[in-house]
Structures are given as C-alpha cells and as structure tokens.
Structure 1
Amino acid sequence: MSVPFDPTSYSHQLAEKTTRLRELLAPFDAPEPQVFDSPREHYRLRAEFRLWRENQQRFYAMFVPGNNHTPILVDDFPIASQRINDLMPLLRERWEASATLNFKLFQVDFLTTLADDAIITLCYHRPLDDVWQAVAEQLAADLNVCVIGRSKGQRIVIGRDYAIEELEVAGRTFSYRQPEGSFTQPNGAVNQKMLNWAFDALGQRDDDLLELYCGNGNFTLPLATRVRKVLATEISKTSVNAALSNLADNGVDNVTLVRLSAEELTEALNEVRPFRRLWGVDLKSYEFGSIFVDPPRAGMDPDTCELSRRFERILYISCNPETLAANIAQLHDTHRIERCALFDQFPYTHHMESGVMLVRR
C-alpha cells in the first residue's frame, strides 16, 4: 500500500501553520512572515523502513508511534523523493532473489539528494562476510548507488559513505557532502529556499559572523560569502569533518571551524576558561557584527541567548517555534524582529521551520 496523505489539504495546513507562527510572534510586533511552501509530494530526501516478514517474504514497513506490533506495509512512499520510490521495488526484487542479501536483513535506510545521488544502508542481525560484500558490490553497481552494510560492530562501505548534494544560492551552486547517519535537512527544495532567505536577510557585510550549531556547513558556505570572515562551531565530529570537506570543496577559505558546543564557546568568549580546541584562534581578532544560530529543538540555553544579545544582528533558524518565541522573549528588550519567515520543511505534520532576523533597537 501507499502511505496515506492528502495533497488537497496542503494549503489549509500551511495556512494553519502560518497563523500559529503569526500568533507566537505577535507579542514582539513581528512583521508578516514570508511563507515558503513545499512540493506537495516527493519532497523528503531520507526514509527509514523496518522490514516485516509475512508469508516467507519481507516487506517495507512503518509503524504508528508507540505501536511496534502493527505494521503498515509499504509498496511506495509518495512523500519521499522520486529516487527513493524508484529504488524501493528494485531493491526488494534483489533481496527476494538473493539469500545473501535477505538473510537477517531487518532495516533499510535511503539517503538521496536533489543532485540525484543515493545511499542505501542495509542493517542486519548477523555478521557480514566476503560473500555478502561481493553481492552488495554488484547491487551498488547495478542500481548506481552507494551501499553501506551495518551489523553489530561492523560497517562496510561500498562506494562513498556520504551523498553529494548541490544547492543553488543567489545564482551560485554549492556542493555538499552529506554523511550517512548524520543530520541533513530532509526537504531539499525547502532547504534551498531557506538558504536563499538567510543569505538575503544577512545582506553584504564588512564585519565578521559567529555561527553556532553549523552542522555540515549547510548555511556556512553561502553566508561566508557575505562577510569578512566566520568563526563557526559544531560539536559532532562527523559533521565537523563534513563541514571542513565542504569548505575545501567549494573554495571557501574565510571560515575557522572549531569543535565546541554553543555553551563551551560562550564560556570561551566570556573568558570563563580556556579550551585547547581553540589553540591558535585569536578570538579578539574578530569584529563580530552578526550571529547565526540554528539550534536543536530545545532552542538556545539562557547563557547562549545572553551572548547573542551582544550582536547587532541575530539571524535565527528554528525547528521549534515555541522555543524560538521563548528565546525572543529574552532578547526583546534589546532587539526587534526585522524579518520573519516560515519554511514548510515538514508538510502534513504540525512541525515547521521558521526564521527571524533580529536587529538591535
């Protein structure tokens, strides 16, 4: 079966989200939000499926949250990218025809990109041997994908362990390595709109930018072209390595990236304590005019929120409008909302991505 969704309800759902964001930001005299919609289908670039065994066959399966016993068997997945939908039946044919691929296979993950790259991750409850690798190598060649095999204590990579994405911002195409198993924006079309909005909101500056939670450099690459130099932070080693590769691949050479959490960088800037990971970085050499933050759902912690108050401009992308509003409440006496936007990364759900540009009063 197909996973049920109703494209005819999309406009109504988006209007409800817009109203919700407008109400959350109303206490701060926010302007009317710009609204960036999503494709109605084939927008999600990632998908994870458990495999369900029935009548001696394995099927792609999903579950209602909280119920792991009643599967929804899936033949196609219209919210996922066309590439995922094309690969699903081809992969199923291969595991049905191969005992080596099929034996104790329990999960399949897909990662695709707007650039039409793809990784398939096959997860097993058994060790993977040379026979499996030979079969998987043929699978990768036939489907024109990278394949990663995972079992307890094993990770076998056939091809690359990252997908290649290409996103256009203000007429320039940026190339991104997106590592398997790490966070990437799920809705590529909306992500591209989000990058262009942030690029335009920041404007061309002659001072420096501090970026917290930079991930694989999704925003770092285009925003670095708008400022003199960037100090960016990220705590995940995988994301840091991907970001460094992305900076090099795109010839962006005005970014210093340090592996620190937002809380640790706040302590460093407040001279609470030194960090060996900042060795050789002269924090006093930066003339920060703007800070860019894209925090997790919990938002910025109070100390980081206070740190951001020092900057003339605060560019804030949020995956949780409630914590965004709570952070703005802490900043409202010194900063006002100049621009705001809604990015519909997650159609047919209550989740939304939003952005604000705060400027000093």
Structure 2
Amino acid sequence: MTSPYQRQLQEKIDRISAQFAAYNPPALQVFESPEQHYRMRAEFRIWHIENDLFYAMFERSAEGKQKKVIRVDEFPIADQGINSLMPKLLAAIKAVPVLAERLFEVGFLATLSGEMLVSFIYHRKLDLDWEQAARALGEQLDISIIGRSRGQKLVVGNDFVVEKLNVQGREFVYKQVEGSFTQPNAQVCQHMLDWACSVAGRSDKDLLELYCGNGNFSLPLSLRFSKVLATELAKSSVHAAEWNIEQNQIDNIQVARLSAEEFTQAYHGEREFRRLQEARIDLKTYDFDTVFVDPPRAGIDDDTLKLLQGFERIIYISCNPDTLHDNLTTLSQTHRITQFALFDQFPYTHHIESGVLLEKI
C-alpha cells in the first residue's frame, strides 16, 4: 500500500514534470527523503500552564485567524537525536526554576555526527545564575547552549555545530552557525552534493559559484575544477565558508564577499570593489567554463541571468520551481536542460527543491 509520503512525493513529481515539459528536459531524477527523522532543525514554543510547561506548536483554524495550541511530546520528522533529547531537556528545565522562568522558545540544531546546539529565548534579562545553571545543564546533557533575550546573547559552549557529510567517498566537515542558513535535511543534502558533483564532471578550467553560503557545495565541487571563486554577501556565511575551507584542507577556493549583482558589475569592469582587493582576488586570473547557482526563493536578477548566458555550463539548484521556470525563459535562449532532478528536502510540504544542468546550445 502506498504511504502518505509516497503519494505526496508523486504529486510533486507530477507537478514539476508538467511545469517544465515545455523545456523538453530529460527524464527526472528523484531523490527521496527518509519518511521520518530527517529534519536537523526544530523550534518549539514553551507553553506555561499553572505549574507545568511543555513544547508547543500552533495550528491555525479553518478561517486562518485563531491558533490552537498543540502539545508536542515527540516530533517524528526531526532527527532522532532531537527526539531523544527533548524529554530529558524538558525535565531538566522544569527542575531548575532559573532556566524555566519566562522561557519563551527552544530551538534545536543537530548533526548526523551527533553534535547538538540548543537555543533558549526568554522574555527576561539573563544573569549569572542563569549562566551557571545553563553551564551545568550543558555538561549534564553534553550540548552547547545559547541564551537569548532582548539585547543579550550568552553562549555556553559553541554557537555552532560541526556537521560531517559524505560526498562521493570523501567526508567533508561544515561549521553550521546558529541562526545562519543550513540545509535542514542533511541526508537529502548529501544527495544534492553527489548530484552536483556528478553532473559537473571534471574540468581543467574554473568554477564560478554565486550565493555560496557556508560553502556547502563549494567544498566537494572544488575537487572537480582547477579553481573555484565563490561569492556570498552575508559576513557570517563568509566566515563559516572560510573556516570550512581551512578545516577541509582545500587550497583552490577563494571567497569574495559580493552579492551576485555586485559580482556581475565587477566581472564586466563596471565597478571596482575594495573587498576584492583586500581578499587578493584578481578576476583576470580565472578561466571559467561553469557557473553554479543556488539563489534565494526570488530567483536570479536580470543582469545576472545575462551573465550566466555567457558560460558553457550552468548548474542551477532551486528552492522555488516557479522562479526557476521564469529564469529559464531567459536561459533557454542560449542553453538546454541536459540533467533534471528533484530533491525532496521538505517532505509533507508543498516545497520542491530541484536542480538542472544547462549546457550551451
């Protein structure tokens, strides 16, 4: 009998196949998610009632106005480590009043390698008593803790976890900073990285990567090219990417703190950026034949699309098939889809993560 997950996945397959049929793509490759314990992040409100408290989420009414409080004792879509920790953490919080007082929200960030970071958000100022109690809790449960309230951030342990992902026979380590974007479904993320490396093949030329984040794709793709220039605007992501490059002992990646729009201006010689000079990046030393893009949901701006049209190959990972479809209106003028994939990062939701390899006509 077909499971609810398989039925919903088939709906996604049917939708994206129909949506992109006009571009005549090859057969769709489908990368499924585990049906349970796939999500490496989870956030819960802490609901206080009389002398008790519990994890809570909210369900909107049919009219979309009122919210119903749903008690959460277990969360099957979350990583098994999160589920194992949830009751232990709640019991420990209840036993220590300074940890429970005006606690508003708890967030979990886990890794496949077993590390755990827990963030606590409060509606009160945190003091030394809280910090001492949090330190004892961290030692008891072997976790790092971040306490937040208005204008405060107290870190007990680390404000990041280190994930380990296996891609085509090699292990890569990634610093994942609390509050920064990371792929929530680590097992599907490994499929995405494998797919990107497979379609990239091997080149004696260079790769341009736009929107590199913490270097999630940059690290494994660097083994496929002579050099990689990766761009990212967010400082925290740039710092994480640089840490990841160093920890993985990769020496052919440079990271430029530029937006995609800024890189386009620099590449065409329309603007000079001190950030490039300070990082000792000389665009003239690169010989690109491939560009990798993983843009935000809004897709790619018109000027950057025109830039992409000049590359022999485009590897495009998309978290929004609608904007990918729109962007292909431009890119299909110069390129054709030669690889097409669906990655089910977000089971039981309507969200679709997809990938295309575009090669020049």
TM-score by length of 2: 0.96
Matches within 5 A, 1:56-205: 56-64=51-59, 69-205=67-203
CA distance change for structure 1 residues 165 and 64 in 2, over 3 Å: closer, same or farther?
Answer: same
Q: Secondary structure at the match of 2:3?
A: helix
- 1:18 maps to a residue whose letter is I
Partner residue, 1:288: 288
| 2:291 partner letter | I
Question: What is the CA-CA distance between 1:271 and the residue it aligns to?
Answer: 1.6
Matched AA of 1:95: I
Q: Cα deviation per residue 1:163-207 (whole Å; 9 max; x = unaligned)? A: 110001110000011001110000010000110000101011100
Q: What does the per-residue CA deviation read over 1:281-332, in whole Å, with 9 as the maximum and x for residues that have no partner?
A: 2111110000000000011111111110010000000000111111111111
Partners of 2:311 and 2:78 in 1: CA distance: 39
Q: How many angstroms does 1:63 deviate by?
A: 1.5
Indicate if the aligned counterparts of 2:59 and 2:67 stay in contact, CA closer than 8 A: no
User: Residue type of the partner of 2:49?
Assistant: E
Q: Does structure 1 residue 31 correspond to structure 2 residue 26?
A: yes
Paired residues for 1:171-320 under 5 Å = 171-279=169-277, 280-320=280-320
Q: Give me the whole-angstrom Cα distance separating, in 1, the residues matched to 2:337 and 2:68.
A: 46
Aligned residue for 1:218, secondary structure, equals: coil
Gaps of at least 5 residues in structure 2 are none
The C-alpha deviation readout for 1:41-62, integer Å capped at 9, x for no partner, is: 0000000111112233211111
Query: AA paired with 2:84?
Result: D
- What is the CA distance between 1:68 and its match in structure 2? 6.8
Q: Is the CA contact (8 Å cut-off) linking 2:197 and 2:224 kept in structure 1?
A: yes
- The answer for the alignment partner of 1:46 in structure 2 is 41
Question: Secondary structure of the residue that 1:64 maps to in structure 2?
Answer: strand
Percent of matched pairs sharing the same residue: 53
Query: Using a 3 Å threshold, how does the CA distance of structure 1 residues 262 and 322 change in structure 2: closer, same or farther?
Result: same
Q: 2: CA distance between counterparts of 1:197 and 1:83? A: 27
Structure 1, gaps ≥5 residues long: 1-6
Match of 1:323? 323
Question: C-alpha offsets along residues 267-290 of structure 1, whole Å, 9 cap, x if unaligned?
Answer: 111222111111132111110000
Give the equivalent residue in structure 2 for 1:359.
359
The Cα shift of 1:8 comes to 2.1
Q: CA 1:77–1:116 in structure 2 vs 1: closer, same or farther (change >3 Å)?
A: same
Deviations 1:122-141 (A, max 9, x none): 11111111111111011111
Flag the 1:74–1:84 CA change in 2: closer, same or farther, 3 A. Answer: same
Describe the shift of the 1:50–1:182 C-alpha distance in structure 2 as closer, same or farther (beyond 3 A): same
Residues 348, 69 of structure 1: alpha-carbon distance in 2 compared, 3 angstrom cutoff: closer
Contact kept in structure 1, 2:147 and 2:153, CA below 8 Å: yes
Q: Which secondary structure does the structure 2 equivalent of 1:58 belong to? A: strand
1:69 Cα deviation from its structure 2 partner: 4.1
Count of residue correspondences:
355
One-letter amino acid matched to 2:217: F
Q: Give me the whole-angstrom Cα distance separating, in 2, the residues matched to 1:281 and 1:132.
A: 45
Q: Per the alignment, in what secondary structure is the counterpart of residue 205 of structure 1? A: coil
Instruction: Read off the aligned partner of 1:292 and give its amino acid letter.
Output: F
Using the alignment, how far apart are the partners of 1:87 and 1:282 within structure 2? Answer: 48
